[in-house]
Amino acid sequence: MERLQRLFGSAAAGLGQGMQPGMDTPTVDNAEMVYISSLALLKMLKHGRAGVPMEVMGLMLGEFVDDYTVRVIDVFAMPQSGTGVSVEAVDPVFQTKMLD
């Protein structure tokens, strides 16, 4: 029985559960932050609401601030129709026009 307790005790310690309460476990910070402008958020919400119950698609325009931060400045809807089975492709000319 003691052998099982040692086995499970060492396995729990490997998962960080065998540490004493209140001790912090070291973790790697790999969280990413996305800042969205209020206008872009309103456009996304309006587009998503208009597409119910179908799928919606669009592009977000922005910039990388650093390795873990993205700033979304504007968004625009892509004119496409789709279901859970298939999605009609978007015209590349439309994409280029919207980016300019």
Supply the pLDDT for residue 97.
78
**12-41 residue pLDDT tens:** 555 555 556 667 777 777 789 999 999 999
Residue 95 in domain: yes
Residue 94 in domain: yes
Q: Which residues contact 41 (CB under 8 A, 6 or more apart)?
A: none
Q: Residue 58's domain is classified under what CATH number?
A: 3.40.140.10
Residue 66 in domain: yes
Domain count, the chain: 1
Residue 21 in domain: no
Residue 60 in domain: yes
Residue 16 in domain: no
Residue 63 in domain: yes
Write down the pTM of the prediction. 0.54
Task: Please report, for the chain, how many H helices and E strands are present, in that order.
Answer: 3, 3
Range of the domain at 74: 26-99
